Amino acid sequence: MPVARVSNVTKVYDAEGEAVTAVDGVSMAVEPGQFLALMGPSGCGKSSLLHILGAMDRPTRGDAWIEDTPVHRLTEEELTGLRRTRIGFVFQFFHLLPTLTVEENVAMPLLLTNGRGVDRRRVGEILASMGLEHRRASPPGQLSGGELQRTAIARAVVHRPALVVADEPTGNLDSENGRVVLELLAKLTEAGTAVVMATHSAEAAAFAGRTLRMKDGRLQ
Ligand SMILES: Nc1ncnc2c1ncn2[C@@H]1O[C@H](COP(=O)(O)OP(=O)(O)OP(=O)(O)O)[C@@H](O)[C@H]1O
Ligand SMILES: [Mg+2]
């Protein structure tokens, strides 16, 4: 069964009274363990499609599933639960909480799903696998760009999601740190996690096993 699937999805935004069709009748599936790159010019709809694939947003029309769960039929509350358990997100600008330490940022998804306690061993294990043990007590403000993105990846996968959605994850990194982040994303797929990544970079897309190109809201 695919980890994520969309069938003829369309996303129409209301931009100050004007309808903007960002995604225009897209159908696709993401299989377990697949590393998929989504490329295309700025404004072609990559982020919009990622948001639908990752159940961050519902399509205007069409159907979307995470595994066997129909996203288009869920309430807001059910969607939140689905995102917290099955999906991890990585962003271009990291989106870490500045007043928490690295360790606390990474533990946050576990705290949200189980308020009674966090599996500290799991947090330690994931920090180690991202090469962040020495940074566990630091606030994000003291980290390099590469360390920030590795922290964000740790946070995205600590709850063992089936799907990781990454929107320009190397957009703010130099090529060396970008390569490390891409290798970490590729490594996730070896354990069966699916990764979908939007990128402008052909070098980044080269790490993916499959590349889809988008133009004017459509897959080419
Ligand atoms: N919340 C929104 N409200 C209105 N219009 C939006 C909104 N989000 C995106 N759009 C529009 O939808 C279209 C697709 O945007 P999207 O962000 O998906 O493109 P993108 O391919 O990710 O671009 P980039 O490479 O610059 O990140 C654009 O025309 C954009 O202006
Ligand atoms: Mg985008």
- Domains recognised in the chain with CATH numbers: 34-58+75-219 (3.40.50.300)
What pLDDT, on the 0 to 100 scale, is given for residue 20? 96
Distance 47 CA to ligand 1 centre (A): 7
**Angle between helices 145-157 and 120-129 in degrees, nearest 10:** 140
170, 145, 150, 161: which is closest to 106 by C-alpha? Answer: 150
What pLDDT, on the 0 to 100 scale, is given for residue 7? 98
- DSSP-assigned letter for residue 73: G
Rounded CA-CA distance 108/121 in Å is 14
Rounded CA-CA distance 64/127 in Å is 32
29-84 confidence digits (pLDDT tens): 999 999 999 999 999 999 999 999 999 999 999 999 999 999 989 999 999 999 99
What pLDDT, on the 0 to 100 scale, is given for residue 34? 98
- Exposure class string for 131-158: b at 16+ Cβ within 10 A, else e: ebeebbeebbeebeebbbbbbbbbbbbb
Q: In the chain, helix, strand, coil percent, each to 5? A: 40, 25, 35
Averaged pLDDT score across all residues of the chain: 95
The pocket around ligand 1, CB under 6 angstroms, is made up of: 13, 15, 20, 22, 40, 42-48, 198
Both tokens assigned to 116: 């009674």
Asked if 180 contacts 129 with a C-beta cutoff of 8 angstroms, the reply is no
Distance 168 CA to ligand 2 centre (A): 7
What pLDDT, on the 0 to 100 scale, is given for residue 104? 96
pLDDT band at 87 (very low <50, low <70, confident <90, very high): very high
Q: Whose CA is nearest to atom 18 of ligand 1?
A: 45
135-155 confidence digits (pLDDT tens): 999 999 999 999 999 999 999
**Angle between helices 102-113 and 145-157 in degrees, nearest 10:** 20
Please state the pTM of the whole predicted model.
0.95
pLDDT band at 113 (very low <50, low <70, confident <90, very high): confident
What pLDDT, on the 0 to 100 scale, is given for residue 58? 93
